[in-house]
């Protein structure tokens, strides 16, 4: 071979090698769960609707990365997910397992967790966006990451693994946790009197006092009563993020766990289910059944009806009576606005860029797998690599524009 031909061949190999690196695919999803059941049970899971149930069969197995786990219970869950083929699951193990975190360095040790199908989460990014910003603000304490789920060898697609709030509260020394429902009700609760041995009824009454104070107190007295029972700093920041992201549905999407302060229960919050973001109007528009009525019957046919009532305030939803009181009580709103002003001032557009880049990196291995992405045909919205990338771009621009507008509005109020 002549020297010239040798040089040309070397250059060609270099070009091929360079091009190969440019299209190198990311690794496969690194955490894969698999459920083995009979074909009949698999079809039942696919076809069942609107019913939560435990999956119990002789010989069934549940694995993580091909390692059999000691399963105590697995059941379907989630009001919305039960309407779809791709179910969400609540998992309880007899043993604690170690799961690598999103960064690849942190680890979680879990016995109870949720596998959330995100069937209504467009391109699977909305929960992750919400949780990422909440986490940066110190009000999303739970472990979460994307995983793949299979049933009998068939992929079920992308799932969001979430630490169970009802495991977390025990680990931090709480003995009572509830999920808030509509009309200041309790949708669900867990009580484990192993620290303070306060009666369950006392915790429930403490929660109800949050709402009864709305009808009897005003101004600073109301704020003090609320703050004794609920971490209002946390609640204000959550409301500010809900406004930033235009979270359309959150009355019943929050857990409250009790810690003891001055010998009395005081609730901290765990936000939940952020798959209804970027809405043009909040949940209470056009419905009657969900809007609080402690402070009078309220009904909003249009979003403008809400704006006419509360004015130009940085609150997206007033469905719950607590949020409504914060919007309408001048003292509460001043405290709220002061809190989110500090929060918004510290949020940079570069932080939003970094968050979306993290999300893209976490989902990229899944979106390169056609079989995984094809499972979105069973969701509310089908996705693809192109739809996903366009949605990431659009939502990043939305959040950055919204953040800039909030900063400007805050400067106008308090120059």
Mean pLDDT by 10 residues, the chain (415 residues): 40 40 56 98 97 96 97 95 96 96 86 97 97 96 97 98 95 96 97 92 98 98 98 98 95 96 94 95 94 96 97 97 98 98 95 97 96 98 98 98 95 70
Cα angle 131, 110, 277; round to 5: 15
Q: Where are the beta strands (DSSP E) in 175-249?
A: 176-180, 186-191
Task: Report the run of H or E that residue 46 belongs to, with start and end.
Answer: helix 39-47
State residue 6's pLDDT score.
36
Structure tokens at 90: 């609540």
Residue boundaries of the structural domains of the chain: 32-166, 167-346
For residue 246, what is the DSSP state? T
- Bridge-based pairing of strands 61-64 and 32-36 is antiparallel
Q: Which three-class secondary structure state does DSSP give residue 107?
A: strand
Task: Residue 106: name the closest of 148, 156, 143, 69 by CA.
Answer: 143
Alpha-carbon distance 319 to 308, whole Å?
A: 15
Q: The whole model's pTM is what?
A: 0.91
- Bridge-based pairing of strands 32-36 and 144-151 is parallel
State residue 147's pLDDT score.
97
């Amino acid at each position: 071979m002549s020297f010239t031909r040798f040089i040309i061949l070397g250059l060609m190999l270099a070009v091929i090698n360079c091009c190969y690196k440019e299209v190198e695919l990311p690794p496969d999803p690194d955490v894969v769960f698999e459920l083995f059941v009979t074909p009949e049970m698999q079809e039942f899971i696919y076809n069942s609707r609107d019913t939560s149930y435990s999956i119990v069969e002789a010989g069934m197995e549940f694995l993580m990365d091909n390692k059999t786990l000691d399963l105590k219970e697995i059941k379907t869950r989630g009001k919305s997910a039960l309407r779809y083929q791709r179910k969400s699951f609540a998992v309880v193990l007899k043993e604690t397992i170690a799961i690598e975190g999103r960064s690849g360095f942190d680890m979680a040790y879990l016995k109870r967790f949720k596998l959330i199908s995100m069937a209504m989460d467009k391109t699977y990014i909305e929960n992750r966006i919400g949780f990422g910003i909440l986490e940066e603000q110190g009000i999303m304490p739970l472990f979460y990451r994307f995983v793949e789920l299979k049933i009998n060898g068939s992929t079920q697609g992308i799932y969001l693994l979430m630490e169970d709030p009802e495991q977390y509260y025990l680990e931090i020394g709480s003995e009572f946790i509830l999920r808030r429902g509509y009309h200041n009700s309790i949708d669900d609760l867990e009580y484990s009197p192993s620290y303070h041995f306060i009666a369950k009824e006392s915790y429930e009454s403490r929660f109800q006092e949050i709402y009864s104070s709305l009808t009897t107190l005003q101004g600073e007295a109301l704020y003090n009563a609320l703050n004794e029972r609920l971490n209002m700093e946390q609640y204000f920041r959550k409301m500010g993020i809900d406004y930033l992201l235009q979270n359309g549905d959150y009355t019943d999407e929050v857990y409250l766990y009790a810690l003891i302060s001055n010998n009395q229960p005081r609730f901290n919050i765990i936000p939940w289910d952020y798959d209804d973001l970027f809405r043009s109007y909040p949940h209470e528009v056009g419905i009657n059944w969900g809007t609080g009525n402690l402070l009078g019957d309220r009904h909003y046919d249009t979003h403008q009806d809400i704006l006419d009532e509360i004015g130009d305030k940085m609150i997206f939803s007033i469905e719950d009576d607590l949020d409504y009181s914060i919007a309408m009580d001048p003292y509460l709103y001043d405290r709220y606005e002061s809190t989110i002003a500090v929060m918004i001032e510290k949020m940079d557009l570069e932080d939003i860029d970094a968050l979306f880049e993290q999300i893209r990196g976490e989902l990229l291995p899944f979106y390169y797998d056609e079989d995984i992405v094809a499972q979105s045909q069973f969701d509310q919205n089908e996705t693809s690599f192109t739809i996903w990338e366009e949605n990431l771009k659009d939502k990043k621009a939305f959040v950055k524009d919204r953040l800039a507008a909030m900063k400007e509005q805050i400067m106008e109020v308090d120059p």
